[in-house]
A and B are shown apart, each in its own frame.
Chain A
């Protein structure tokens, strides 16, 4: 990331909210959203959104700051096999994302991939991604995107990435006191509808979180956004409200999604929603342009709107800090 550019931008107006309740300054929020596409950092802590310069956030304070906590990375939408404008080389940009991960000052404990690993569900595409991600030396947790389950209802995906999963590929696990739930909302889609979790998965979810303490921080990850980003383009999940109703009792819920190939945040009560950059190609802002296809951008701009997401949980803090950084 070009630090000088970022600092110049921040010199124009650092967004930082001092109130430590769940209030959020709408003007600041939108300003930060506008920056997201150009590589600024949006951090959500305790429901409060802050924007930091990369240099200050990634500085020496980070490591001690996070003692006893948990750091992990989200990547999304690798679309291995895609070869059209604006990105004829998705291998190179995925490798750049891996370099970015390996250079993080706080080494992440593991990686979440929120789907569309492949472009056409081909074994060679999955093989390429596996090969590239191997150099992170990290455990990787996957959920499928619709591009990963094209011709076999997800059988190959589950064979490769979901051996210990339930149903069509959903599962949960605990790390350092944080409870992670991987959901599948790209299967059995209905004509005219959005993403779907389905009755069987919802029942499992309700039962799975019953035994957890209300103070347990929850991270939910799934491919299609679990909030209504732009239903006209299919950017939402029909039965996400029911899933979220099972999570109401928890003080901190972080929802991480992909699918829309751009960063976006929303805070709603106890829930922070976040969508990640793609590592392959950008898509237009909701409703901007004719449709949700790949957005064509000049080659020199491409890496500024692809990227990774770094997430940090600090013991004793209310929420998780979600930091996007571009590949530029």
Chain B
């Protein structure tokens, strides 16, 4: 076995172990309360997490309010706006066109976020 082959085998082994651990760990992660699903934005302590979320066209993004106070999700240019979301309330919007969508909380406007649709 050449040195290169040995190296490639080692890389393959690492990748295989890595993949296996992801497959094994992923189901428990998904059950975890703190792990947001890929198309979810958590509203927590007056911030959006993640602040910027990139999704494919026709994705439905869901915001969930984890704060003790209500928030209102509103796009900067009026494309979408939720009703007031009390604690644990959710709001979803499906992005059918590519683009960059800035949004904010219309009652706490210091809270800003971005959805990038590709």
Contact = CB atoms under 8 A, between A and B. Distances in A.
A294 B83 contact: no
Contacts, number: 57
Interface of A: 84-85, 119-121, 146-147, 150-151, 186, 189-194, 231-234, 290-294
A79 to B, nearest CB: 9
B112 interface: yes
Determine chain A's interface SS by DSSP, over half rule: loop
A294 B104 contact: no
Contacts of A231: 110
Interface of B: 45-47, 67-70, 72, 76, 83-84, 86-87, 102-104, 106-110, 112
Given A189-B106, A234-B109, A293-B69, A84 B87 contact: yes
A189 B109 contact: yes
A142 to B, nearest CB: 18
A191 B112 contact: yes
Specify which of A146, A147, A194, A233 lies most central, judged by the most chain B CB atoms within 10 Å of its CB: A146
Given A151-B83, A232-B110, A291-B46, A191 B76 contact: yes
A232 B108 CA distance: 11
A150 B45 contact: no
Specify which of B45, B69, B107 lies most central, judged by the most chain A CB atoms within 10 Å of its CB: B69
B84 A150 contact: yes
A151 B89 CA distance: 15
Q: Which 3 A-B pairs have the closest CB atoms?
A: A191-B104, A146-B107, A150-B84
Nearest to A191: B104
B74 to A, nearest CB: 8
Given A120-B86, A293-B46, A84 B68 contact: yes
A52 B76 CA distance: 48
Nearest to B70: A120
A186 B102 CA distance: 21
Contacts of B112: 191-192
Given A147-B70, A292-B46, A120 B107 contact: no
B84 A189 contact: no
Contacts of B109: 189-194, 234
B86 A191 contact: no
A246 to B, nearest CB: 24
Contact of A151 (B46, B68, B69, B84): B84
A189 B67 CA distance: 20
Nearest to A292: B46
B94 to A, nearest CB: 22
A294 B46 CA distance: 11
A65 to B, nearest CB: 41
Specify which of A121, A147, A191, A232 lies most central, judged by the most chain B CB atoms within 10 Å of its CB: A191
B43 to A, nearest CB: 11
Contacts of A150: 70, 72, 83-84, 107
A237 to B, nearest CB: 12
Contact of B70 (A119, A186, A190, A194): A119
A119 B69 CA distance: 8
Specify which of B47, B68, B87, B109 lies most central, judged by the most chain A CB atoms within 10 Å of its CB: B109
A293 B70 contact: no
Contacts of A120: 70, 84, 86
Contacts of B70: 119-120, 147, 150
